[in-house]
Each structure stands twice: as C-alpha cells, then as structure tokens.
Amino acid sequence: SVEMPILMSLGMADSCLNFHAEETDETGMSGSVNLDDSLTSLQWLQEFSILNANVNSKPSSALINQDPHGYSKYPGSVAPSSPLAADPASMVMPHTPGKPTPASTSRAGHLGTAIQAHAMEDIDYKTNPHVKPPYSYATLICMAMQASKKTKITLSAIYKWITDNFCYFRYADPTWQNSIRHNLSLNKCFIKVPREKDEPGKGGFWKIDPQYADRLLSGAFKRRRMPPVQIHPALINRIKTESNSNGGGGGGMLSVSTESEQLLKEFEEVTSDQNWNPTDANRASHKRKQPVPKRMLKVPRLSSSPLLSQEEQTELGSLKGDFDWEAIFDSTLSSDLSAFDDLEVTPPVSPFSNEVDLTVHGKHIDPPQKWCPVMQDQVLTESNESNMDFDEETFLATAFLQHPWEDGKNDFLSSTVNLDQLFDLSDAFSNDLNEWNRMESFL
C-alpha cells in the first residue's frame, strides 16, 4: 500500500518542482498564473544552489543584488524556473528544439561544466524551448497526474500539462508523444482506465497503479540520465547576446549572470583556437547520434485543443501546474490525500515525526529547541507577502537543494531532513548573515 512516506516523498518532490498553479474557474478555463507569488518562486533557490554548489562561494553578490525572488531577471516572464535546473545533473542539454535529442559531450571539460552550471542556473523550463527537461517520461507523466489532482487523467491532458509546463515539448518534434504513449503502455506503474460507455471523448484515462505507486513515486522525479553536455559556441554567443540585450534575462531564454558571462568568456578563450566540430565532440564519448531537428518552429499547441471534450477542457484547466507550495503543504501537512484517494493510502499518523534526525549534507544537526509553528500558514501560502529574510532563504536552499535529487536520495523517504526542522533552524539563523556563513561552512 501507499503510505504516507510516499506521499511525503511526492509532496516534497512537488515542492521542488515549483510549478505554479493557475486558477481554474467554473468554466474550466485557466486563469492567470500567479506571477506575484513570490513565495512559490524558487528561482532564487536554484540560483543560490548553483552559486553555492559550483562556485563554492558565499551567497554571491550577484544573487544578493538581485531580486531574491528572481523575477527581476524575467521581465514579462510568467513562469518561474524549475528548481531542478539547479541540479548539476540536470544540466543544460542545449540543442535546437526539435526532435528530442541527447547531447554530446563538451570538450571544455571542467570549465565547460562550470559554464554549463552557470548557464543553466536560470533555466526556466516553462518558457525555455531550448533545454529539454531532465525528467524521464514516466516522471513527466507522474507529474502530470499529480498535478491533475484527479485519480485519472487523459492522454491529451498529459500532453497538455507537459507542453504547458515544459516549453521544450511545445516546439519539439511530436515523437515525444509517442514516447509518452509508449511509456504509458509499457510502464506497469500506469493503469489504463477505460472510459465509461456513456462518457464522450477519445481514449481512456490513465492513473498510477497503487501497486507500483511507491516505487514510482519514490523513484519519480528522479532526473533522467543525461549525457554530458556540450554548449555550442553559437549558443554561448546567443546567450551572451541575449543577456546583454535583455539586461540579464527574460523571454524564456537562457540568461546568465555576470559571473556566468565571465566564465563563458573564459570558455571561449580556451576553445577559440579550435574549430568547433560537433562530430568530433560526438565521437569523443558519445555514441548517441545528434538527430537533426525535423521542425524548428512548430506551431505551439494551443492550450485549448479542439480535440478535447468539455470535460477534458475542464480537466486541462486544472492541470495548469499544481506544483505550488500551497498544494504541497495541503497534501503534506494537511494530509490531503485527495490526489490519491483511490490509491489505498494509509493515512499518516503524523506528517512529521517528532523524532529528530536532522541530517543535512551528511552532517547531523541537533534538533532545534522549538518548532516553527505551522509554516504552511506563515511561510508558504500564495497570499503571503514573502518577507522571508534572505538568510532564511539561503539556508533553506542549501538544506533543500544541496543534493536535491541525487540518485538514491531523491525520495525524501530516505532523507532525514525534516522541513519543520529546517524552517525552524532557518528561523534561528535569520537576520544574521554571519550565522549563514557559519552554517555554510558547517555544511
């Protein structure tokens, strides 16, 4: 049976996915994205995570000087970045949107890696069509199902959720849809629910098999295997150009910080005397071919597909990303099992154990003396005005994203980090950057 840890795992994963919910009205049509939901934006988290993890520095001035919520870099952007972009393993796989492609390796070695880390720190999967999300198809399906908050979901709804939340797939060759269908059919975790005879519409519904839910969910959100990354010089130039012209971001394109730009410059210097040869790069260590995009600028799918029934339209409306903090804590703290009400869920005894075993980054931290009261009301609701101190945020970032989805550690079942404790600790360290520094060195 699916027990609370599984749900916790899912919920925590959700919290990191940070997809914004869109309000759905009675008509099922989705409304505007919560642009001002600063608390649900974790872009600052990923940026911090990258800077902290890859530059090995204190919270960088670049970060400090920017809007801690990150939106300042995305004028007009309606979507936050995906926190997982901060995961070095989910590195940019920059290639022209088209047929989903793997990437070949970079000749730049560690420098390239650093550059990639910087270049991808601002990746916004929701608006960036150039970067393939680092999730497996099964994960994407699972995410869509979870976001739907329904027990079953149509194939078209899965498509739509993916294209809504991952711009890459809007422009990619539709073969990925074949992969989705293939995955649904092949993966035992997914059960087909036939449509009722009197139910209009095409195809059936799909849901997560409770029997495999634990496995799927504990393994879900695991980043897909990603080959080493190459960044084509042309892309680098493009990044630089757009960074300059846009003042550092926007438009869903990759945006880079000053530090990133410097690294890019260094990278160019290192590689400037070599002719870029993707074939050589491919030969270097990757057998996977670099497919030629079939369609560079496919017309994006519309949100409201004429192929969808009224019910499906409604369903899709509710799929506008539910990976917001409020939803997360609705499900985790309030034990809202509605999304899995047919999964034979064993209700949790307590969302958070009182047993304190706070281990962050391999270090044990003694339990705090007091508990942060009901954080879902104080910290993570959409209506909150988010005056969380930067220290708090950065601490949370480190605790939460130091190893966000390491293989084998990505299920928060195995994690001994308790969010309550993290928040409590962060509270204890708020308003004191020195405390932050201490923590950083500790971690």
User: DSSP 3-state assignment of 374?
Assistant: coil
Per CB under 7 A, the list member of 11, 70, 100, 404 interacting with DNA is: 100
Q: What's the rounded Cα separation, in Å, for the pair 191 and 186?
A: 10
- Residue 359 forms beta bridges with which residues? 364
Among 4-12, 120-128, 176-184, 233-241, which window interacts with DNA (CB under 7 A)?
176-184
CB atoms within 10 A of CB 196: 10
Q: How far is the CB of 292 from DNA (least distance, A)?
A: 9
Residues 307-326 that bind DNA (CB under 7 A): 307
Which residue(s) pair with 208 in the sheet? Answer: 190
Options 25, 32, 186, 359; binder of DNA; rule CB under 7 A: 186
Question: In the complex with DNA, which residue's Cβ is closer, 226 or 413?
Answer: 226
If the CB atoms of residues 136 and 257 are measured against DNA, the closer one turns out to be 136
Nearest Cα neighbor of 46 from 381, 404, 385, 408 is 404
* Choice between 201 and 367, CB closer to DNA: 201
CB of 39 to DNA, least distance (A): 30
End-to-end CA distance of the chain: 36
191's enclosing H/E stretch is strand 190-193
99 interacts with DNA by CB under 7 A: yes
SS (H, E, C) 133-148: CCECHHHHHHHHHHHH
Q: Which stretch binds DNA (CB under 7 A): 49-57, 142-150, 196-204, 411-419?
A: 196-204
What minimum distance in Å lies between the beta carbon of 421 and DNA? Answer: 29
Among 29, 35, 111, 226, binds DNA (CB under 7 A): 226
- Choice between 69 and 152, CB closer to DNA: 152
Give CA–CA dist 115/120, Å, rounded: 8
Beta-strand pair 345-346/2-3: parallel
Stretch that binds DNA, among 12-20, 234-242, 279-287, 320-328 (CB under 7 A): 279-287
Is the CB of 136 or the CB of 332 nearer to DNA?
136
Piece of 114-122, 170-178, 256-264, 397-405 that binds DNA (CB under 7 A): 170-178
Q: How far is CA 56 from the centre of its chain?
A: 22
Report in angstroms how near the CB of residue 366 gets to DNA at its nearest.
31
- Amino acid of residue 136: S
Q: How far is CA 434 from CA 62, 213, 366, 429, 430, in A?
A: 18, 43, 19, 9, 10
Which residue lies nearer to DNA by CB, 94 or 102?
Answer: 102
- Positions touching DNA (CB under 7 A) are 99-102, 135-138, 154-156, 159, 173, 175-179, 181-187, 192, 200-206, 219, 222, 224-227, 285-289, 291, 307, 407
